[in-house]
Amino acid sequence: MKEIIAVVRMNKTSATKKALVDVGAAGFTAEKVMGRGKLVEEKERIATRRANLMELAKAEDDKETEALIDSFLDGSRLFPRRMFTVFAHDDDVERIIHAIIKANQTDNNVGDGKIFVLPTMDIVRVRTGESGEYAI
Amino acid sequence: MLLIRAIVRPEKKDEVLYELSTAGFHAATVIDVVGRGKQKGIKIGGIVYDEIPKALIMLVVRDEDKEDVISVILRTAKTSAKGAYGDGKIFVSAVDEVYTVSTAAAGL
- Per-residue pLDDT tens digits for B13-28: 999 999 999 999 999 9
Contacts of A117 in chain B (CB under 8 A): 95-98
Confidence bin at A61 (pLDDT 50/70/90):
low
Who among A33, A36, A93 is closest to B31 (CB)? A33
What is the C-alpha separation between B2 and A97, in angstroms, rounded?
19
Domain range for A122: 2-36+78-135
- Are the beta carbons of B62 and B108 closer than 8 angstroms? yes
For residues A27 and A70, state if they share a domain.
Answer: no
Looking at the domain covering B2-57+66-94, what would its CATH class be? alpha beta
Contacts of A78 in chain B (CB under 8 A): 17, 30
For residues A24 and A52, state if they share a domain.
Answer: no
pLDDT at A60: 67
For residues A27 and A47, state if they share a domain.
Answer: no
Which residue does chain A place closest to B61, by CA atoms? A116
For residues A117 and A131, state if they share a domain.
Answer: yes
pLDDT at A28: 93
The mean of the pLDDT values for chain A is 90
pLDDT at A43: 85
- Are the beta carbons of A19 and A92 closer than 8 angstroms? no
The sheet with strand B2-8 has its strands ordered as B88-94, B2-8, B52-61, B28-35, A29-36, A79-88, A2-9, A114-119, B97-100
Pairing between β-strand A79-88 and β-strand B28-35 as defined by DSSP bridges = unpaired
For residues A125 and A62, state if they share a domain.
Answer: no
For residues A63 and A130, state if they share a domain.
Answer: no
Contacts of A39 in chain B (CB under 8 A): 21, 26
pLDDT at B53: 95
What are the tens digits of pLDDT across the range B9-67? Answer: 999 999 999 999 999 999 999 999 999 998 888 889 999 998 999 999 999 999 999 99
